[in-house]
Amino acid sequence: MQVSFDRRGFLKMATTACMALAATETQAAWRRTGWKTAIGLNGFQSAGQQYKQTFPIWEILDFAAREGFDGVELVSDWPQGGYPEPTNASRVRALRRLYDAYGLTIFSMQLGADGAFAPDEAIRRDWIHGFRDRVALAKQLGCECLGIWPGGGLRGQTIDQALDRLATSLREAAGIAQDSGILTAFEIEPPFVFNTEDHVRRILSQTAHPNLKAIYDPSHYDLMNGSLGRPHEMLARIGVENIGYLHLTDTDGTLRNGGTSKHLACGDGHAQIGESLRVLREGGFRGWIMIDAWEIPDPYDASRKGLNMVQEAGRRRRG
């Protein structure tokens, strides 16, 4: 059999092979960071409420799988009711199967923590009891993390008393989660009573538990750092080793009316997201990066922009 030599066809085939090899190498470089990406259901929940849009859960999960996300962070009471009780085996199994069908990990669940620093000891004990149930559920769902948001008022106590009580509760919670192999991470926001860099530091130091970390959200850190567009400066001061996982978003350094730090798609604000990712990469961060599209009108666009920026940063060599 005689084989004819087609120079144009050979060059096309060689170019295709080189492109495939380059794509494989860049994908390998991105994966070597140890970063995993997730969408946050909170972005779709808030956009639906704020802008009267509808986001079917199957559409969101299909999008996440097609775009190459690794996982999802759940939010309570959306899209259909609250988290199931850990003893309700059929509902827990059905919830996990939904995400498994799209090849997505439920990496975390969002939990409120106003009860964790209540002046009334009985309320704090109830919060710990509820947290045990959430840990049991998280373990069944295959979660690696639990996110904690200590919102709520002071209720007649001083900020120092509230911090002391919060630290005591979080220390116990971190130990409970550690026994199940689940990392605990907290996030404070500008509208909270805990809303400064010093508060982040004090929560970490007073809790003094290796299984409690902070969640890095550039929009909140930017406001706590003077709205200068350089949240990575506060990140560096807090220390990458103290970061559990990320809620990655851009910002313009303002508060939304009646809400928290204004979230924008990565690259649409002033927060120098690339610098944050550089600090994290050089600091050896390995873990989950959730693209946070809170109250952004198009959470699909924001999720895609955030994923692209994370992947590009992950491909760059350290140093």
pLDDT of residue 10: 47
pLDDT in tens, 172-189: 999 999 999 999 999 999
Considering only the C-alpha atoms of the chain, give the largest distance between any 2 of them, rounded to a whole number of Å: 91
Q: What is the value of pTM for the model shown? A: 0.91
Local structure of residue 114 (DSSP, 8 states): G
- CA-closest candidate to residue 299, choices 43, 72, 59: 43
- CA-closest candidate to residue 168, choices 116, 114, 123: 116
pLDDT of residue 5: 46
Cα 34 to the center of its chain, rounded Å: 15
Which residues sit opposite 146 in a β-bridge? 184
Coil, strand or helix: which one is 149?
strand
Query: Of 9-18, 227-236, 262-271, 293-302, which range is least confident?
Result: 9-18
pLDDT of residue 318: 47
pLDDT in tens, 4-46: 445 555 445 555 444 444 444 445 666 788 999 999 999 999 9
CA distances from 230 to 62, 119, 275, 277, 280 (A): 34, 36, 8, 12, 14
What burial letters (b/e) apply to 182-199, b meaning 16+ CB within 10 Å? bbbbbbbbbebbbbeeeb
Which residues make Cβ contacts (< 8 Å) with residue 189, sequence separation at least 6?
A: 149, 151, 195, 217, 220, 260, 261
pLDDT in tens, 203-243: 999 999 999 999 999 999 999 999 999 999 999 999 999 99
Quick one: pLDDT band at residue 258, thresholds 50, 70, 90? Answer: confident
Q: What are phi and psi of 147, to 5 degrees?
A: -95, 135
pLDDT of residue 314: 87
Complete domains list, the chain, with CATH? 34-315 (3.20.20.150)
Quick one: pLDDT band at residue 112, thresholds 50, 70, 90? Answer: very high
